[in-house]
Amino acid sequence: MAARCHLTPVLRGLARRSTIGLRRQAVIRQSISQPVRNLSQSRLLLFQRTNAVLKDEFTSEKYPDIQRDTRFVQITPEHVSYFKSVLGSESAVIDGVTSEGAADDIEPFNTDWMRKYRGHCKLVLKPGTTEEVSKILKYCNDNMLAVVPQGGNTGLVGGSVPVFDEIVINMSRMNQIIEFDEVSGILVAEAGCILEVADQFLASKGYIFPLDLGAKGSCHIGGNLATNAGGLRLLRYGSLHGTTLGIEAVLADGTIVDDLCKLRKNNTGYDLKQLFIGAEGTIGIITKVSIQCPQRSAAQNVALFGIESYEKAQLAFREAKGQLSEILSAFELMDQGSQALVRQVTKNNHPLEGEYPFYCLVETSGSNAEHDSEKLQTFLEDVMDKGIVADGTLAENETQIRSLWSWREGITEALGHLGGVYKYDVSIPLKELYQLVEDIRARVDAAGLLGDTDEYPVRAVVGYGHMGDANLHLNVSTRRFDERVEKLLEPFIYEWIAERQGSISAEHGLGVMKKKYIGYSRNPTMVGLMKNIKKTFDPNGILNPYKYL
Amino acid sequence: MAARCHLTPVLRGLARRSTIGLRRQAVIRQSISQPVRNLSQSRLLLFQRTNAVLKDEFTSEKYPDIQRDTRFVQITPEHVSYFKSVLGSESAVIDGVTSEGAADDIEPFNTDWMRKYRGHCKLVLKPGTTEEVSKILKYCNDNMLAVVPQGGNTGLVGGSVPVFDEIVINMSRMNQIIEFDEVSGILVAEAGCILEVADQFLASKGYIFPLDLGAKGSCHIGGNLATNAGGLRLLRYGSLHGTTLGIEAVLADGTIVDDLCKLRKNNTGYDLKQLFIGAEGTIGIITKVSIQCPQRSAAQNVALFGIESYEKAQLAFREAKGQLSEILSAFELMDQGSQALVRQVTKNNHPLEGEYPFYCLVETSGSNAEHDSEKLQTFLEDVMDKGIVADGTLAENETQIRSLWSWREGITEALGHLGGVYKYDVSIPLKELYQLVEDIRARVDAAGLLGDTDEYPVRAVVGYGHMGDANLHLNVSTRRFDERVEKLLEPFIYEWIAERQGSISAEHGLGVMKKKYIGYSRNPTMVGLMKNIKKTFDPNGILNPYKYL
């Protein structure tokens, strides 16, 4: 007895909300009391709540095991003079070494946007050219001064702020688009170019940046490469390892590596640029980027399904890949618990009437709206006829599209609104992706820590994420800090993932946070080879120390 | 006055030909007198003609500058005994060291399929497991025995055969598909699995290997990765750097590197597998591959255009990307000269009536035949209305699709049929892609070497290739060897490409052939870093010596 597909408007209570400038996250954000000026601020509010206990704590206090490397020299006024002579402009050097008054100016460079990591840096350098980056690094390497390369500082693992007194090399002044070929779609830009700026430029040319993520208004494309950012378009456009054509980078000793290739094919030697993608600034500083950009899709459609089991969610994904094929641009999974939390916070009615253990959001992007709608409707009817999907609804306009997306993208904010959250961003082979959520929920429940009333420290264990990429966000929503919860979760979760050959960091990287856990996802042979690479490229270890490996 | 689009059948003289098992190259191949049993043989015939003068010449004679590295030990019967003890089965060792009679059996492993490169190897090992590869390499490294990793031996630059007495480690026994996840589309297979076998397996599951090339019936997927093969699907599915999820490889000292990740996202450390992709076996032997496979498209359409200038060909490409967008799967360029040669050899009528300076072949692949046809027809009418395309024709069935493709894929064979050919596989930024052909033609003509009659050594200078990837095949068709021609071409062509930041090897790699030319596409800093990588992974240099760097 297959349920019937209803293609009526989906808004109910969402429809009358006005939109704001930021796509997708608009609806939920408005339901939160504080005014929101931009995405980064929005996130900051969230995490201030979530991590209130950590506010203003130094990383060096939080991680007492990490000791300052005594090989590194303390910065002197003489060093500062040199940097001022190189960078010329006063605004390119924020000097807290010779000037006490600069502390407030330096604080934003010392602290990540979650205020979870905080360093003791006293000097921020903002080079304007590759040659300046080169001179800075050569001098630092010669004088054993440690540095932290910094892009938009939107990372989640503490990779872009200092731990001790490392010099911050902030790339924000190198923010120009250098060239764009309208025939090939190849964009060349400086590393400090903001992702959204690049994407808006490309939009005016009918192209799209092959990467999209929540922090697009702040993050730099150089930082995107350095952290191998994944985001919302990976299912469709693949990873940066495939789309990046070339980079220019500066090595620890100041050597400029010009690999700024603007060709799709170039089989002449080892593809060294790949090492810099995801290296988190530990082997060099990316200064320019050359990237292959796809055509921007004229049409976008979104559907939301209710599904009765994780097995059926997998079948729906398989069918979506088969039937929607080249126009499929997102396939997101949300469990019942995550949707209940969004409903609880927003007080909105869910677009689907019944309750289902799982929900899937399917997005298509293509060049012909009519064709795409037809494919998506046919697909929806087919999966409902086959009993794979219990209920479903199709968005009919841009407002409805944003509303459906809000039930996926509002989860993070809803969770943050409710209290502290333990968050795990992991990859797990698709078959067992959701099993981790069930196992953790059972484990917390068995320990008597999960319940609906205040006596239980854990409110909910929920899962959602980029199903198309086998990327799960496991979230444990708590009412208060309780050491018993933490002990239940770690290292159990890392071990669980290691047993299934998953990844303890799907897209966020290692930074300070996961440095010591790399062994759960990489064997000693691999880690040994990585250390050789680090030593080859940065023998003095001045680049982003105390992190990554 | 835009020409009218005619959508009538395109075969004329091609229509009645029966098809043979091999796709796309069928029609032209039948017009050549010798019977053809399979693709490799077909190519062999072609190149035997083309390179008749080189037949049976040893690489060491052809490249007298290359000297045997005296650090490498000569193979002794004792070494052979060890390998026999490791590999067990007699058929896994072809022993020309202790047995004179094995020379004929060894010859196919000593010689590439073009018979352009020939080594002096006396021992071929065919390991059946990763552990056997490991034991072999550890022993070779400990005893300073040089080796050549060998896949399907279909390379074009002499990378997969020995120069002197290197031991061939042939991967053909490690040819199993290990697992396939029908939901995620992730395939895991041994390196010696033949590409076509993998693709046929995937076809039965509704998937496709994200790589396709002429040698698919012989080449190994491990070799595809080792050479970063490009091929026909790159425009659509991107490079192997994006689609490969993991590898297992054995290093020179026998260390097994297990990076056989089956996840789309895994940001835990340097992405070392990327170094092995395109390394041509110089830093390790790939033993297993994990790769993300897309859904197989249900529908395929092909159109052929006549175009009046290279500028308009670029416009047509831009429009194809915009209008066909997600279904565009190939955009190939052929110049008038290349089509004239095919016509001359096959005696067939060209599908388009008039003559045009350029022809473009556009292929679409999608999930809905009706939608795709509509898009392609709309596109074709649009570009004709705009005067971008002067004439065009659409294939209406599989036979016609093959016929249109034959005018692109038959060029190589037609050229080979006519005599010796100087071939250059290069990448050039799209704007100047065809300028190289014009400059070379003018240069040869100005020297009085180009003409229609026998007194001129050069018959034609033609260009064609994967326009979608900015990958040009420049071909200089000659009547006989003439030193003056060679001197006109090199190093002029390499310098011309270097000035425009192109690549002297778009997809074929370096091997023996282009080892000494790497400097035209990579600066000394890059080459220096590459040499460091080589030294880190293979300090004794036993892996594929005399090649690559």
pLDDT of B8 > 80? The answer is no
| Distance (Å, whole) CA A96 – CA B11 | 77
Residue type, B432: E
Name the residue in chain A with its Cα closest to that of B429: A263
CB A430 to CB B184 under 8 A? yes
**What residue has token string 């201030």?**
A48
pLDDT of B27 > 60? The answer is no
| Distance (Å, whole) CA A167 – CA A153 | 14
pLDDT of A5 > 70? The answer is no
Closest CA to B475 of B483, B485, B507: B485
Residue B401 makes CB contacts below 8 A (sequence gap 6+) with B300, B301, B302, B395
Residue A524, pLDDT score: 97
Under 8 Å CB pairs connecting chains A and B tally to 271
Residue A56, pLDDT score: 73
B chain contacts of residue A469, beta-carbon cutoff 8 Å: 264-265
- Return the H-helix or E-strand segment holding A86: helix A77-87
Can you say whether residue A231 is alpha, beta or left, with left for phi > 0 and alpha for psi between -120 and 50 degrees? left
- Structural contact between residues A464 and A338, judged by C-beta atoms closer than 8 angstroms: yes
Q: What is the DSSP string of A448-494?
A: T-B-SSTTSSEEEEEEEEEGGGTEEEEEEEESS--HHHHHHHTTHHH
pLDDT of A52 > 70? The answer is no
Look up the pTM and report it: 0.90
- As a dihedral over the C-alpha atoms of residue A69, residue A74, residue A80, residue A82, rounded to 10 degrees, the angle is -70
Axis-axis angle for helices B336-346, B398-409 (nearest 10): 110
- What are residue B472's DSSP bridge partners? B426, B465
Identify whether A491 is preceded by a cis peptide bond (ω within 30 of 0): yes
| Mean predicted confidence (pLDDT) in A520-543 | 97
Name the residue in chain B with its Cα closest to that of A514: B268
A chain contacts of residue B261, beta-carbon cutoff 8 Å: 501, 503
Percentage above 70 pLDDT, chain B: 90
pLDDT of A39 > 60? The answer is no
pLDDT digits (tens, 9 = 90+) for B369-408: 999 999 999 999 999 999 999 999 999 899 999 999 999 9
| Mean predicted confidence (pLDDT) in A87-93 | 90
pLDDT of B45 > 50? The answer is no
Closest CB to A266 among B243, B427, B536: B427
The whole-chain average pLDDT of chain B stands at 89
pLDDT digits (tens, 9 = 90+) for B143-168: 999 999 999 999 989 999 999 999 99
> What is the least distance, in Å, from the CA of A350 to any CA of chain B?
28
Q: Which two tokens stand for residue B397?
A: 């069935």
Is residue B232 very low, low, confident or very high in pLDDT (cuts 50, 70, 90)? confident
- Structural contact between residues B450 and B484, judged by C-beta atoms closer than 8 angstroms: no
SS3 B516: helix
What's the per-residue H, E or C state across B395-433?
A: CCCHHHHHHHHHHHHCHHHHHHHHCCEEEEEEECCHHHC
Better-scored residue on pLDDT, A253 or A114: A253
pLDDT of B510 > 80? The answer is yes
CB A268 to CB B504 under 8 A? yes
pLDDT digits (tens, 9 = 90+) for A146-175: 999 999 999 989 999 999 999 999 999 999
Q: Which two tokens stand for residue A378?
A: 């046919």
Is residue A437 very low, low, confident or very high in pLDDT (cuts 50, 70, 90)? very high
Beta strands in A102-194 (DSSP E): 123-125, 147-150, 167-170, 177-181, 186-190
> What is the least distance, in Å, from the CA of B131 to any CA of chain A?
15
For an interface test with B, give the residue of A259, A265, A373, A547 to mutate (most B CBs within 10 A): A265
CB A258 to CB B526 under 8 A? yes
> What is the least distance, in Å, from the CA of B345 to any CA of chain A?
31
Residue B253, pLDDT score: 98
Q: Which range among A28-37, A85-94, A187-196, A295-304 shows the weakest confidence by mean pLDDT? A: A28-37
pLDDT of B2 > 60? The answer is no
Name the residue in chain A with its Cα closest to that of B274: A274
Better-scored residue on pLDDT, B48 or B281: B281
Rounded to the nearest 5°, which phi and psi values hold at A354?
Answer: -75, 175
CB A271 to CB B241 under 8 A? yes
Residue A55, pLDDT score: 52
> What is the least distance, in Å, from the CA of B222 to any CA of chain A?
16
pLDDT digits (tens, 9 = 90+) for A194-226: 999 999 999 999 999 999 988 999 999 999 999
Residue A10, pLDDT score: 34
> What is the least distance, in Å, from the CA of B113 to any CA of chain A?
20
Most trustworthy range by pLDDT among A31-40, B226-235, B268-277: B268-277
Closest CB to B518 among A269, A428, A522: A269
Is residue A373 very low, low, confident or very high in pLDDT (cuts 50, 70, 90)? very high
The whole-chain average pLDDT of chain A stands at 89
Using alpha carbons, list the distances in angstroms from residue A52 to A57, A357, A475, A480: 10, 32, 17, 11
Q: Which two tokens stand for residue A232?
A: 């919302």
Residue B359, pLDDT score: 98
> What is the least distance, in Å, from the CA of B406 to any CA of chain A?
24
A chain contacts of residue B325, beta-carbon cutoff 8 Å: 295, 297, 366-367
Closest CB to B264 among A227, A325, A469: A469
Q: Which range among A37-51, A299-313, B53-67, B171-185 shows the weakest confidence by mean pLDDT? A: A37-51
pLDDT of A344 > 80? The answer is yes
Rounded to the nearest 5°, which phi and psi values hold at B302?
Answer: -135, 135
DSSP category for residue A168:
E
B chain contacts of residue A267, beta-carbon cutoff 8 Å: 227-228, 230, 278, 503, 505-510
SS3 B276: helix
SS3 B174: coil
**What residue has token string 């078959």?**
A431
Q: Which range among A418-422, B257-261, B301-305, B491-495 shows the weakest confidence by mean pLDDT? A: A418-422
Q: Is A31 exposed, middle or buried (0-12, 13-18, 19+ CB in 10 A)?
A: middle
Give per-residue burial for B66-85: e unless 16+ CB within 10 Å, then b: bebeeebeebeeebbeebbe
| Mean predicted confidence (pLDDT) in B171-183 | 96
Residue A382, pLDDT score: 96
Other CB atoms within a 10 A radius of the CB of residue B434 amount to 25
| Distance (Å, whole) CA B354 – CA A391 | 56
| Distance (Å, whole) CA B267 – CA B265 | 6
B chain contacts of residue A243, beta-carbon cutoff 8 Å: 238, 242
SS3 B37: coil
B chain contacts of residue A547, beta-carbon cutoff 8 Å: none
**What residue has token string 């080249």?**
A326
Other CB atoms within a 10 A radius of the CB of residue A40 amount to 16
pLDDT digits (tens, 9 = 90+) for B436-482: 999 999 999 999 999 999 999 999 999 999 998 999 999 999 999 88
- Return the H-helix or E-strand segment holding B196: helix B195-204
| Distance (Å, whole) CA A474 – CA A425 | 7
SS3 A62: helix
Closest CB to B271 among A278, A297, A326: A278
Is the Cα torsion angle A401, A403, A405, A409 positive or negative in sign?
positive
Is the Cα torsion angle A212, A217, A222, A224 positive or negative in sign?
negative
Residue B101 makes CB contacts below 8 A (sequence gap 6+) with none
| Distance (Å, whole) CA B447 – CA B482 | 12
Q: Is A459 exposed, middle or buried (0-12, 13-18, 19+ CB in 10 A)?
A: buried
Name the residue in chain B with its Cα closest to that of A254: B525
